[in-house]
C-alpha cells in the first residue's frame, strides 16, 4: 500500500450499496453534462452556419441550456458525494495537488452559467456578439471538463503524487498521463454526439408545430449524432489501447464482467449507428441512455483495476447507518413523486389546466 | 493528518473558505426567504387584483432564479470544493458520518431547482392556485434544505451533550433548534432586504414605496426574532465556547462588534423605510443589502471562530489533527506528506497554516510573533493551548518545537542596517 494514501473513514453502508447509488446518479450527471455541452456546441455550429433554419433552431436549443446546467450541477453534486464516500482517500489528495485548478472550476462555471442566462434574457442581440459569447461559454465548459479529467486521472496516478514534494501550491496537472487526452476526447466527443441527439429530439418535438424546422432539426441532429458516434468508436479504441496493459487485458478477456460490458458497449454503439441511419430517433435515445449506464459501469471497473493493491474493500471499516439510509430513501421517493407532479404541471397544456380550474375574467386581466 | 496541505501561505485556506462561505450563506438565506416572498406577494396580487405588483413579481422571480441558481448553487458547491482542499480530513469525516443526510439534502436541492424553474415558466399557463402551490413546494423544499444542512453545521460546533451514539443524536444536537430559528429569522431578514433592493430599481415609484414598507416591516420583525434566537443559541453553547464568544477570543470580540454595528444600522434603516419608504432609493437599498452581508459575515465568522481549536468539536483540531494524538511524540515522521528538508516550514504548514498566514491579511503569524526570540517562542509554543485555549496544542518533540521557533523567528523582518555600516571595509561579502 502506498504510504501517501490516507486511511479511509468508516463507510456508512456496504460498499456495493454506495457504489450502486453512484452508478445510478453518475450516468444521469453524464447525460445532463453531455446534453449541456453538446447542445451548446450545436448552437454555436448553427450560428456559424447562419442559414435561415439554423438561426431559427439555435434559440430553441439555447433556451434549454439553463435547465440543463442546473441539472448537471445538481447531479454532479450527488455523484461527487457518493464518489467521495467511496474513494475519498484518492480524491482529496488528487484535488489538493491541483488545488488552484480545482477551485477555479467554480468561477469558470459561474461565468458560463451567467453567460447562458444573459443570452437567454437578451436574445435579440447582434449575431456576432451572441456567437462570441457562446464561443466563450463553450470554451469555459471545455476547460472545466479538462480540469475534471485531470482530477479523475490524478486520483489513479499515484506515482504522480510524489511531485507534491517539489511543489505544494496546488499547481500540478496530470498532463503526462497517457490516458488523459484520449479520456478527455472520449468524453467531449460523447458530448457532441448527445448534442446531435438532443437536436434530433427537439426536431421531433417541433414536427407538429413547425414541420419544416422540425424535419430539418431531426435530420441534421441524427446526421451529426451518427457521424460523431462513428468517430467515437475510433477514439474509444485509442483510449482502450492507452490504458495500462493489465487493465486493458481485463476488458479483453481477463475479467468476464469487464469483457461483457465492453462487448455490450461496442454492440450498443453499432446499434446506435444503425438506428441513426434509419432515423429511429426515439430508439437512438433509449440506446444511448443504456450505453451511458454501461460505460459508467466499465469506468468504475477501470478505476478499481487501476487501484489494485491500494484499496482492499475487506479492510475498509463499516458501520451501517440504517436510520439515515431509510431517511434518504424516503426523501428520495417523496422527492421523485414531487418532481413527477411538478413536471406534469409544466407539460400540461394551458387549456387543460384552465379546464380544471376555471380562471376568472379578473385573473386574465391581471396577466394581460 | 494523512493528507497533503494545499499551501498558499500569503492567502491562507481559511480566507478562501470565508470568502466563498459568506457569499453562499448570504445568497442561500435569500433563497430560503425569497421563495416565501414570491408566494406572499403573488397571493397579495391575486387578492387585490394588483396588476403592477404582479408584473413586479414576474420580473423579481427571474432575478431570484438567476441569483439563487447561478450564484447560490455554485457557491454552495464552491464551499464543498474549498473545504475539501483546505480541511480534507474534517470534510471526509463529515461526509462519512452524514452522507445519507447530505444525499437527502441533494434530493431537496433537486426539488428546489425543478419547482422554481416550473414556477418561473408557468406564470401565464397555470391557474393561480396551482401556480401558488408550486411556489409553496419550492418554499417547503428550500426551508427543509436549511433544516437538513443546519443539523450538519451545528454538529461541527456542538456534536452532542454526550458522546453521540446515533446519527439522530448527532443531527439533533444541542444547538440545532436555536440555530434553525436564528437562520430562519435571518432568511426572512435578508430576503426582505433583497426585495427592497429590487423594488428600489422599479420604475413604478408608488409600487416601490408600498413594497419597501411591507418588506421593511417584515424584515424588522425577522430581526426582532433573530435577536432572542441568537441569545438562545449563545446560551446553548458549551461553557468554553460561550467564554470565547463573550470575550476570550479577540477575533470574535472584533467580529461581534462589527455585527452589532450592522444590527444597529439595519434597525435604523428599516425604521426609516417603514416611516418614509419614498426615501429609500437605490443607494440606501443597496447599502441595506451590504449591511445584511456584513451581519451574515459576522455571524458566520463568529460561529467558525467559536469552534476553535476544533474543526469537529472534541474530536479533530482545526489543523486536521486528531485530538487523541499524543502531543509529545515526534510529529513529522508520522506525516507521509511532509518533506524531509526544512522541518520548521513543514511544521508550520501542517500545524499552524490552517489558521495563520505568512504576511497575509488574515491572522499573520509574522505579526503575531513579532519581538519574540527563539527561546521565548519555543517556550510559548509548548504552552500554546494552555495560554490560548482556542489554539490547538503543539504536537511534536522538543526538537521539532525548537525547529518551528527557529523557522518563525527567521521570517521576522531584519532591523535595517545603517548605510554607514555597509560602507565600512570588510562589511560587504
Q: Are residues B264 and B150 in the same domain?
A: yes
Cβ-count burial of A134 within 10 angstroms (0-12 exposed, 13-18 middle, 19+ buried)?
Answer: buried
Q: How far is B107 from chain A (nearest CA, A)?
A: 6
Q: Are residues B352 and B300 in the same domain?
A: no
Q: Is residue B157 part of a domain?
A: yes
Rounded Cα–Cα distance for residues B236 and B158 (Å): 9
Q: Are residues B258 and B369 in the same domain?
A: no
Contacts of A351 in chain B (CB under 8 A): none
The sign of the torsion formed by the CA atoms of B163, B166, B171, B172 equals negative
The predicted pLDDT at position B415 comes to 67
3-state secondary structure of B322: strand
Q: Are residues B313 and B374 in the same domain?
A: no
User: Which residue, among B71, B293, B280, has the nearest Cα to B196 in the 3D structure?
Assistant: B280
Domain count, chain B: 2
Contacts 24+ apart (CB under 8 A), A157-165: A158/A2, A158/A4, A158/A5, A158/A310, A160/A97, A161/A2, A161/A4, A161/A93, A161/A94, A161/A97, A162/A4, A163/A97, A164/A93, A164/A97, A164/B4, A164/B337, A165/B339
Establish, for the pair of chains A and B, how many residue pairs have beta carbons separated by less than 8 Å: 218
Among chain A residues, the shortest Cα distance to B119 is held by: A346
Chain segment B342-354, per-residue pLDDT in tens: 999 999 999 999 9
Distance of CA B54 to the CA centre of its chain: 35
The predicted pLDDT at position B166 comes to 85
Q: Is pLDDT above 70 for B184? A: yes
Residues 4-63 of B with CB under 8 A from A: 4-8, 16, 20, 45-46, 49-51, 54, 62
Instruction: Retrieve residue A222's grid coordinates.
Output: 441524427
Confidence of residue B427 (pLDDT cuts 50, 70, 90): very low
CATH of the domain at B354: 1.10.760.10
Best probe of the A interface among B1, B2, B3, B4, by most A CBs < 10 A, is B4
CATH of the domain at B270: 1.20.1630
Does the CB of A21 have a partner CB in chain B at under 8 Å? yes
Confidence of residue B164 (pLDDT cuts 50, 70, 90): low
Instruction: Retrieve residue A30's grid coordinates.
Output: 453524464
Rounded Cα–Cα distance for residues B120 and B142 (Å): 16
Mean residue pLDDT across chain B: 92
User: Which residue, among A33, A37, A39, A73, has the nearest Cα to A59 in the 3D structure?
Assistant: A39
Q: Are residues B240 and B150 in the same domain?
A: yes
Positions of chain A with pLDDT under 50: none
Q: Are residues B64 and B112 in the same domain?
A: yes
Q: Is residue B20 part of a domain?
A: yes
Task: Given the cut 0.85, state whether the ipTM is greater than it.
Answer: yes
- Average of per-residue pLDDT across B162-182: 87
Q: Are residues B386 and B308 in the same domain?
A: no
Rounded Cα–Cα distance for residues B322 and B50 (Å): 60
Q: Are residues B81 and B204 in the same domain?
A: yes
Angle (deg, nearest 10), helices A256-277 and A211-242 = 150
> Are the C-beta atoms of A236 and A225 separated by less than 8 Å?
no
Q: Is residue B425 part of a domain?
A: no
Rounded Cα–Cα distance for residues B110 and B96 (Å): 22
The predicted pLDDT at position A357 comes to 61
Q: Are residues B359 and B277 in the same domain?
A: no
Counting Cα atoms < 13 Å in the Cβ hemisphere of B273 gives 34
Q: Are residues B50 and B195 in the same domain?
A: yes
Q: SS3 letters for B80-105?
A: HHHHHHHCHHHHHHHHHHHHHHHHHH
Does the CB of A170 have a partner CB in chain B at under 8 Å? yes
Counting Cα atoms < 13 Å in the Cβ hemisphere of A257 gives 10
Does the CB of B85 have a partner CB in chain A at under 8 Å? yes
Confidence of residue B1 (pLDDT cuts 50, 70, 90): low
Cα dist from B152 to B145, B155, B171, B172, whole Å = 11, 5, 6, 9
Does the CB of A12 have a partner CB in chain B at under 8 Å? yes
Q: What length does chain B have?
A: 429
> Are the C-beta atoms of A163 and A172 separated by less than 8 Å?
yes
Contacts 24+ apart (CB under 8 A), A142-145: A142/A37, A142/A188, A143/A108, A144/A105, A144/A108, A144/A109, A144/A112, A145/A33, A145/A37, A145/A184, A145/A187, A145/A188, A145/A191
Q: Is residue B395 part of a domain?
A: yes
Contacts of A356 in chain B (CB under 8 A): 127
Q: Is residue B327 part of a domain?
A: no
**Of B289, B317, B345, which one is at a domain's C-terminal end?**
B317
> Are the C-beta atoms of B120 and B35 separated by less than 8 Å?
no
Number of other CB atoms surrounding residue A330 within 10 Å: 12
Q: Are residues B236 and B127 in the same domain?
A: yes
> Which residue's C-alpha cell is 468504475?
A300
> Which residue's C-alpha cell is 460546533?
B157
Q: Is pLDDT above 60 for B162? A: no
Q: Does the beta-carbon distance from A67 to B339 stay under 8 Å? A: no
Q: Is residue B424 part of a domain?
A: no
- Average of per-residue pLDDT across B87-109: 96
Contacts of B107 in chain A (CB under 8 A): 328, 331-332, 334-335
The sign of the torsion formed by the CA atoms of B300, B301, B305, B306 equals negative
Rounded Cα–Cα distance for residues A45 and A131 (Å): 9
Rounded Cα–Cα distance for residues A93 and B61 (Å): 41
> Are the C-beta atoms of B66 and B27 separated by less than 8 Å?
no
Structural domain of B361:
332-410
3-state helix, strand, coil in chain B (%, to 5): 70, 0, 25
Confidence of residue B195 (pLDDT cuts 50, 70, 90): very high
Q: What DSSP character marks residue B161?
A: S
**Of B262, B291, B317, which one is at a domain's C-terminal end?**
B317
- Of the candidates A73, A342, A363, which has its C-beta nearest B134's C-beta? A342
Q: Is residue B274 part of a domain?
A: yes
Among chain A residues, the shortest Cα distance to B11 is held by: A169
Q: Is residue B324 part of a domain?
A: no
Q: Are residues B296 and B172 in the same domain?
A: yes
Amino acid at each position: 500500500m502506498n504510504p501517501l494514501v490516507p486511511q479511509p473513514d468508516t463507510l456508512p453502508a456496504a460498499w456495493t450499496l454506495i457504489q450502486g447509488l453512484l452508478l445510478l446518479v453518475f450516468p444521469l450527471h453524464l447525460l445532463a453534462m453531455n446534453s449541456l455541452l453538446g447542445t451548446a456546441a450545436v448552437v454555436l455550429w448553427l450560428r456559424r452556419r447562419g442559414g435561415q433554419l439554423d438561426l431559427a433552431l439555435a434559440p430553441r436549443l439555447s433556451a434549454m441550456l439553463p435547465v440543463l446546467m442546473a441539472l448537471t450541477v445538481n447531479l454532479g453534486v450527488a455523484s461527487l458525494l457518493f464518489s467521495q464516500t467511496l474513494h475519498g482517500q484518492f480524491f482529496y489528495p488528487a484535488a489538493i495537488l491541483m488545488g488552484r485548478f480545482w477551485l477555479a472550476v467554480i468561477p469558470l462555471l459561474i461565468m458560463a452559467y451567467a453567460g447562458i442566462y444573459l443570452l437567454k434574457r437578451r436574445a435579440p442581440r447582434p449575431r456576432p456578439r451572441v456567437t462570441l459569447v457562446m464561443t466563450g461559454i463553450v470554451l469555459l465548459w471545455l476547460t472545466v471538463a479538462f480540469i475534471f479529467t485531470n482530477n479523475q486521472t490524478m486520483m489513479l496516478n499515484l506515482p504522480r503524487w510524489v511531485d507534491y514534494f517539489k511543489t505544494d501550491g496546488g499547481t500540478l496537472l496530470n498532463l503526462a498521463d497517457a490516458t488523459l487526452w484520449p479520456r478527455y476526447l472520449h468524453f467531449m466527443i460523447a458530448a457532441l454526439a448527445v448534442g446531435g441527439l438532443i437536436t434530433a429530439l427537439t426536431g421531433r418535438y417541433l414536427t407538429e408545430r413547425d414541420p419544416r424546422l422540425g424535419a430539418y432539426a431531426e435530420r441534421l441532429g441524427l446526421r451529426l449524432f451518427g457521424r460523431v458516434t462513428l468517430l467515437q468508436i475510433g477514439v474509444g479504441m485509442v483510449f482502450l489501447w492507452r490504458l495500462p496493459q493489465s487493465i486493458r487485458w481485463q476488458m479483453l478477456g481477463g475479467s468476464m464482467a469487464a469483457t461483457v460490458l465492453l462487448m455490450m458497449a461496442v454492440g450498443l454503439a453499432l446499434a446506435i449507428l444503425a438506428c441513426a441511419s434509419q432515423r429511429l430517433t426515439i430508439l437512438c435515445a433509449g440506446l444511448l441512455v443504456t450505453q451511458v449506464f454501461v460505460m459508467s459501469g466499465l469506468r468504475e471497473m477501470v478505476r478499481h483495476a487501476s487501484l489494485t493493491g491500494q484499496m482492499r474493500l475487506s479492510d475498509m471499516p463499516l458501520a451501517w447507518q440504517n436510520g439515515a439510509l431509510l431517511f434518504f430513501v424516503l426523501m428520495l421517493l417523496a422527492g421523485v413523486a414531487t418532481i413527477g407532479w411538478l413536471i406534469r404541471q409544466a407539460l400540461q397544456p394551458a387549456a387543460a389546466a384552465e379546464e380544471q380550474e376555471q380562471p376568472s375574467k379578473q385573473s386574465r386581466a391581471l396577466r394581460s | 493528518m494523512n493528507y497533503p496541505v494545499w499551501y498558499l501561505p500569503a492567502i491562507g485556506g481559511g480566507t478562501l473558505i470565508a470568502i466563498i462561505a459568506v457569499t453562499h450563506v448570504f445568497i442561500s438565506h435569500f433563497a430560503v426567504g425569497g421563495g416565501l416572498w414570491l408566494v406572499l406577494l403573488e397571493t397579495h396580487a391575486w387578492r387585490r387584483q394588483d396588476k403592477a405588483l404582479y408584473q413586479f413579481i414576474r420580473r423579481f422571480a427571474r432575478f431570484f432564479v438567476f441569483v439563487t441558481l447561478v450564484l447560490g448553487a455554485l457557491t454552495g458547491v464552491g464551499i464543498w470544493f474549498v473545504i475539501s482542499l483546505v480541511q480534507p480530513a474534517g470534510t471526509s469525516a463529515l461526509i462519512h458520518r452524514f452522507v445519507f443526510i447530505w444525499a437527502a439534502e441533494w434530493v431537496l436541492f433537486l426539488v428546489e431547482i425543478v419547482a422554481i424553474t416550473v414556477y418561473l415558466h408557468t406564470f401565464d399557463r397555470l391557474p393561480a392556485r396551482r401556480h401558488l402551490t408550486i411556489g409553496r413546494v419550492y418554499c417547503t423544499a428550500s426551508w427543509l434544505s436549511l433544516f437538513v444542512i443546519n443539523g450538519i453545521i451545528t454538529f461541527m460546533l456542538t456534536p452532542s451533550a454526550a458522546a453521540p451514539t446515533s446519527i439522530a443524536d448527532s443531527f439533533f444536537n444541542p444547538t440545532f433548534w436555536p440555530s434553525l430559528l436564528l437562520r430562519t429569522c435571518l432568511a426572512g431578514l435578508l430576503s426582505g432586504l433583497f426585495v427592497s433592493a429590487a423594488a428600489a430599481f422599479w420604475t413604478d415609484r408608488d409600487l416601490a414605496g408600498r413594497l419597501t414598507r411591507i418588506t421593511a416591516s417584515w424584515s424588522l420583525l425577522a430581526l426582532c426574532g433573530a435577536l432572542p434566537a441568537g441569545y438562545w443559541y449563545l446560551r446553548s453553547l458549551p461553557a468554553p465556547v460561550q467564554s470565547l464568544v463573550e470575550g476570550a477570543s479577540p477575533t470574535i470580540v472584533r467580529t461581534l462588534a462589527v455585527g452589532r454595528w450592522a444590527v444597529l444600522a439595519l434597525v435604523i434603516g428599516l425604521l426609516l423605510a417603514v416611516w418614509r419608504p419614498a426615501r429609500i432609493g437605490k443607494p440606501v437599498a443597496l447599502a441595506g443589502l451590504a449591511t445584511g452581508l456584513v451581519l451574515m459575515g459576522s455571524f458566520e465568522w463568529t460561529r467558525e471562530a467559536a469552534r476553535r481549536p476544533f474543526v469537529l468539536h472534541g474530536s479533530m483540531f482545526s489543523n486536521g489533527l486528531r485530538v487523541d494524538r499524543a502531543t509529545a511524540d515526534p510529529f513529522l515522521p508520522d506525516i507521509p506528506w511532509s518533506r524531509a528538508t526544512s522541518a520548521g516550514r513543514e511544521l508550520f504548514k501542517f500545524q499552524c497554516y490552517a489558521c495563520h498566514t505568512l504576511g497575509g491579511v488574515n491572522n499573520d503569524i509574522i505579526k503575531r510573533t513579532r519581538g519574540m526570540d527563539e527561546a521565548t517562542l519555543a517556550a510559548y509554543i509548548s504552552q500554546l493551548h494552555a495560554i490560548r485555549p482556542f489554539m490547538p496544542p503543539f504536537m511534536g518533540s522538543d526538537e521539532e518545537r525548537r525547529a518551528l521557533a527557529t523557522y518563525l523567528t527567521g521570517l521576522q523582518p531584519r532591523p535595517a542596517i545603517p548605510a554607514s555600516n555597509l560602507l565600512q571595509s570588510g562589511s560587504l561579502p
